[in-house]
Structure 1
Amino acid sequence: MSAFPRLQRLRDDHAPALLAFERENRAYFAASVPDRGDLYFVRFGERHAALLAEQAAGLHHFHVLVGEGGEVLGRFNLVDVADGSAELGYRMAERAAGRGLATAAVGEVCALAAAEYGLTSLRAVTTLDNAGSRAVLERAGFTPAGEIEVDGRPGLRFVRALGAASHG
């Protein structure tokens, strides 16, 4: 079995591949989540440095799914870490979608959340029309926990307990 793609904790040297990932998939992402806006790309270096500082402070845990050639295939983030919990957010490159990579990476992030970061639960949200994201969350052991509005669109909130009794 190939060692790639590989989930890696976000580092400074991921910046060029991460920027390429965001640029290449901008229109694809904008179809399901709000666009980041032009300023995001103009100030990408500053934003990347700020994310790394927040990660070093333990506020968030950022990960990238890296392919064999060093390209970023996905982002998997645990944000707003507090009281043993965090919110999971992720996005996959269009060319890597539909291959089970997101499900595997979400499972790996859940394991890291419990074993490395000491978290006991995760939450996530997605829009009702994002069937792929809902399927990833459900396959990774998340359960629906109520309806929510996501950027003006109907959505669902999901939760997952972590630890010995949890799925995965």
Structure 2
Amino acid sequence: MPELQLLRPDHAPALLAFERENRDYFAASIPDRGEDYFARFDQRHLALLAEQEAGACYFHLLVGSAGDVLGRVNLVDVADGAAELGYRIAERAAGRGLATSAVREVCRLAAAGYGLTALRAATTLDNAASRAVLARTGFTVVGRTRLSGRPGLTYLRSLEDSAAGAC
């Protein structure tokens, strides 16, 4: 079973491989990161670690038994007891419930470990898999939005019951 790990400096090579291997797959449903992301990956990785150290964000990797990255689950823009949830799962690992279990674990960590009381999320209307993950993990639709010009929904999840393990 993959393990959820908080981002560390030594994750850089496996994380870069994950992003490169899945670039086209991710770009089909979310905006592409662009060439600069890959060209400046080392600097970006260090910047993410600094943000995490400051408590502004929490970056998690879903790591397989061979040390390969199977997914990411991030909490960004941490403020006033809340954060924005984002996640992506490798194409080869999709459809196995990994996103659902990883989001559930991050809900527990957010409440019990980071002291958060709510999470926000958003996804496009055409991303049925992401909408299903959010529904299964207790997020409710609270509004409409546009993501990269595409219609989407915004979600909210209270974490009041997550510290005890519910999600």
Question: What is the TM-score with the length of structure 1 in the denominator?
Answer: 0.96
Q: Distance in 1 between matches of 2:104 and 2:162?
A: 15
Match of 2:86 among 76, 84, 89: 89
Pairs aligned (count): 165
Structure 2 partner of 1:63: 60
Shift of 1:76: 0.3
TM-score (norm 2): 0.97
Q: 106, 109, 114: which is aligned to 1:112?
A: 109
What displacement does 1:123 show? 0.4
Distance 1:73 1:66 in 2: 6
Q: Does 1:39 align with 2:36?
A: yes
Structure 1 position 52, deviation (Å): 0.0
Code of the residue aligned with 1:57 in structure 2: it is A
Kept after mapping to 1: 8 A contact 2:107/2:162:
no
2:19 partner letter: E
Distance 2:128 2:74 in 1: 20
Q: Give the alignment partner of residue 52 of structure 1, picking from 49, 52, 57.
A: 49
Aligned to 1:138, which of 135, 138, 153? Answer: 135
Could you tell me which residue of structure 2 aligns to residue 160 of structure 1?
157
- Partner SS, residue 101 of structure 2: helix
Query: Aligned to 1:24, which of 15, 21, 29?
Result: 21
Paired residue type of 1:47: R
**Separation in 1 of the partners of 2:141 and 2:96?**
23
Q: Which residue number corresponds to residue 15 of structure 1?
A: 12
Give the unaligned 5+ runs of structure 1: none
**What per-residue deviation string (whole Å, max 9, x for no partner) do you get for residues 126-154 of structure 1?**
00000000000000110111111111100
User: What is the deviation of 1:164?
Assistant: 2.6
- Displacement of 1:162 after TM fit? 0.3
* Distance in 1 of aligned mates of 2:132 and 2:22: 21
Secondary structure, counterpart of 1:62 in structure 2: strand
Q: 2:145 is paired with a residue of what secondary structure?
A: strand
Cα displacement string for residues 55-95 of structure 1 (whole angstroms, at most 9, x for unaligned residues) = 00000000000000000000000000000000000000000
RMSD of Structure 2 on Structure 1 (CA): 1.1
Provide the rounded CA distance (Å) in 2 between the counterparts of 1:98 and 1:25: 15
Return 5+ residue gaps in structure 2 as ranges: none
